[in-house]
Structure 1
Amino acid sequence: MASVAAMSGAGTVGDITKDLPSLQFENALTEEEVSYIDLRARSHAITVSACAQATYLAAILNEARQKVLELKSPQQSKTSKFLQDAPPRDPINVGIIGCGRMGLHLANCLLTYADVQPQELHISTRRPELLTSLQQKGVSCYYDNIKLATSVHLLFLCVLPSQLPTVATDICGRIPAHCIVYSLLSSVPIPRLRQVIKCPNIIKPEFEFRPENSHLPWDCTQDVCIALENQQQVEITCPLNLIKDESLINTKEKWAEMVLYSFVNAGLRIGLDREQIVTLVNLVILGQSEAREYEVKITSFDFTKRSDMFPIFDLTAVAANETPLTKTITQNEEIRKQFIKKYKSVFDKFFYWKGIKQIKQKEKKSD
């Protein structure tokens, strides 16, 4: 939570050049270059969407592991809740290979919104000495792609396409079976990436731009973490959002299928059975409560028509083909609404903890 607070201070920092036209970015552009100004907003919108979606995945994987841990070690009673020590954690270890512009934004979002503690985040980059601020928080920053790829549950690839051959040489065949690879290499398709790193557990968002939406407003001066304080912008980044006509950038809905199947695979890897996994899907991904019954929920047959134990799903095949889940995701509006609500709640938590922090600060001042 600290990363946004540190950047925003008492309030959100706006564009300091707003009333100074001579200092604004557009002032230095030629008439020909002005025609490309929309690309700036589009690039920023893609960055915000990519970071939000990646952060969401880390958050739900962390939440799922925490719920499983709590079931194994339940609290004694609600009345003694405040007398007990903080519950133990069973977090995912998260890795980022490449920490340029995208990687740095992603790291800050993970620390702010995804319940990723600094000691649970690892970054491999050619210039780790440039990441002083992250290192001071406790993030492990080094240049060893092999060490990172073999020690994390969720691996983000944030390198340039031209750097992929070097990275692939390091990590090819070394990624553990339980690790999910999340690619932010826009020009490298999943089949090609699978071929060079020898891993089938790959998620990659595909972004779409509608020329007719190029007039839509988008503040490209905001820091990515700050942009995700805006709930409307958060909703726009959700691939299942119902306001695509209001979105500068949209993400193909296949992303949601890949996330759901990767979630099932993660449950299988920690020993959950079919029924337990489906229950966890509805609790964590749809945000349903254990205390009530729902008319609409995801069932095991939404993933596969098999009636026995879930197999380990090949995410490359999920990305390339229609699945039993495709119809549920695209046609069931209630499922979509629940998914969107839970997606937005990941970023709502920040406001809750920020409010608690502000209350405590006021109490200290009054004392």
Structure 2
Amino acid sequence: MAVAIPTVKAAESIENDSDITNNLPTLQFESALTDEEKDLLVLRARSHAITVSACAQATYLAAVFNEIRQIRAELRHPKLKKSKLLQEATPRDPLLVGIIGCGKLGSQLANCLLTYADVRPEELKISSRRPETLGDLQDRGVRCFHDNARVASSVHLLFICVLPSQLQTVGDEIKGLIPSQCVVYSLVNAVPISRLKHLLGTTNILKPQFKWDLENGNLPWDYTLDINGAIETMSMMKKTCPLYQNKAGEFCYAIVYTEEKYAELLLYTIINFCTSLRLCRPEVLDILNAVVFGQTNGEDTPVVREKEITKKPADADNLFPRFDLTALAEGKLTTLGKKIIRDEAVRASFIKKYCGVIEQYLQWKRYHENLKTRGF
């Protein structure tokens, strides 16, 4: 039975000032389409929204990981000099990132990581069947080659961006080589997380699930923007957040959305990452409340408390247990998950910090543009 697909009319799309075909209907892409083909334009916007959401969420996690590593470095190497002017900078403890598969999605993800997540070119490795096509990334200093095992065995955060048909081969090449502390972030469509666990031999896997409803096909989404342009548009960036809400505090569906449970999985992924850095429970709680929810040390009531994460007693090193992300993905909401989803103030704090990754970059960008206009 045929399914009715909402029509996306040209008049309902968001205008883009950089599009020279604005107000020239006969020159626009849609003018050459039949009425039946125009009914499929929603797929164009949906595909764009999925790519933007995938890149935005992955960039957020990488930025958080980088910030946590720097906090850990500062905790382990406290500054001894009292004068701020005399203090030496804390040595950088970089996040090492790998991407397996660098087609359209992989290359867009790489660009976002380098732009927004404080990942430097020398800290990014890419394995692609055709590394010779990645000249732009290589020119920036990114190491590009065809060796999946080499990438998987040497990074802290591994993105898998291959086609489903290629996953078995990739799994055969890297299974058993992924370090226990490495977080595997899968952007492979149509492969359940239980299958990923079997193929890759790890439970430290994060996989976003993008969904959509047919009735939301006409919601505004400017698919004429490139991926960076969409991410830097804060109204669009907010819609990529799994806890996106409107002004009334109610959950809002965008043209594409991620289930709210994904926010819970992000938190447990961050907890596992902190534990792999040998951060004790109080340190992890402080980092979660500050980095994820924007709380300062002076606030009396923390968002996240130890008993909401686990009731298991601490070990001799006072570390959290390692959580099975694949089991959490397939299970019911935890106490922590229920709290961040149902508490409106907590949701708002999460969204603010989520978007803050890009807002921080935009502030830096405006500052440097201002310097240029003043001749510096």
TM score, norm. by length of structure 1? 0.91
Is structure 2 residue 191 aligned with structure 1 residue 188? yes
CA distance in 1, matches of 2:183, 2:218: 36
- For 1:22 and 1:204, the matched residues in 2 are separated by 42
- Provide Cα deviations, 1:279-307, integer angstroms capped at 9, x if missing partner: 111111112112x2143510111111223
Secondary structure of the structure 2 residue equivalent to 1:134: helix
Q: 1:250 aligns with which of 245, 254, 257?
A: 257
SS in 2 for 1:245: coil
- Equivalent residue runs for 1:174-185 within 5 Å: 174-185=177-188
Which residue in the other structure is 1:8 paired with?
A: none
Structure 2 residue 320 is the aligned partner of structure 1 residue 317? no
1:156 is paired with a residue whose SS is strand
Question: Structure 2: which amino acid aligns with 1:315?
Answer: L
Do residues 104 (structure 1) and 94 (structure 2) align? no
AA of the residue aligned to 1:317: A
Query: Percent identical across equivalent pairs?
Result: 49
Structure 2 residue identity aligned to 1:257 = E
Name which of 225, 229, 244 aligns with 1:226. 229
Q: Counterparts in 2 of 1:1-367, with a 5 A limit?
A: 14-76=18-80, 79-81=83-85, 84-243=87-246, 244-245=251-252, 247-290=254-297, 292-309=298-315, 310-322=320-332, 323-364=334-375
Alpha-carbon deviations, 1:84-113, whole Å to 9, x = none? 554321111011111111111111111111
> Separation in 1 of the partners of 2:82 and 2:364?
21
The separation in 2 between residues aligned to 1:36 and 1:228, in whole angstroms, is 24
Q: Normalized per residue, which structure has more helix?
A: 1
Distance across 2 between alignment mates of 1:119 and 1:109: 15
- Whether the 8 Å contact between 1:150 and 1:174 is mirrored in structure 2 is yes
Secondary structure, in 3 states, of the residue corresponding to 2:84? Answer: helix
User: In structure 2, what is the Cα distance between the partners aligned to 1:163 and 1:194?
Assistant: 16
1:76 positional shift: 4.2
Distance in 2 between the 1:246 and 1:233 partners?
A: 12
With the length of structure 2 as denominator, give the TM-score of the two structures.
0.89
- Please name the residue that 1:4 is paired with: none
1:296/1:80 Cα in 2 relative to 1: closer, same or farther (>3 Å)?
closer
Higher mean alpha-carbon deviation, 152-161 vs 70-79, is at 70-79
1:13–1:54 CA distance, 2 compared to 1 (3 A): farther
Distance 2:82 2:131 in 1: 45
**8 Å Cα contact 2:164-2:190 kept in structure 1:** yes
Deviation at 1:257, TM superposition (A): 1.4
Specify every segment of 5 or more residues in structure 1 that has no aligned partner in the other structure, as ranges.
1-11
- CA drift of 1:200 comes to 0.7
Residues 170-199 of structure 1, C-alpha deviations (whole Å, 9 max, x = no match): 111211101100011121010011111111
RMSD: 1.7
**1:59 to 1:158, Cα distance in 2 relative to 1, 3 A:** same
8 A Cα contact 1:118 1:138, kept in partner:
yes
Name the CA shift for 1:18/1:77 in 2 (closer, same or farther; >3 Å).
farther
Match of 1:364, SS?
coil
| Amino acid in structure 1 at the alignment position of 2:153 | T
Task: Give, in angstroms, the shift of residue 61 of structure 1.
Answer: 0.6
Partner of 1:7: none
In structure 2, C-alpha distance between the alignment counterparts of 1:101 and 1:294, rounded to whole Å: 46
Deviations 1:184-224 (A, max 9, x none): 11210100111111111110111121222211111111111
CA apart distance, 1:248: 1.4
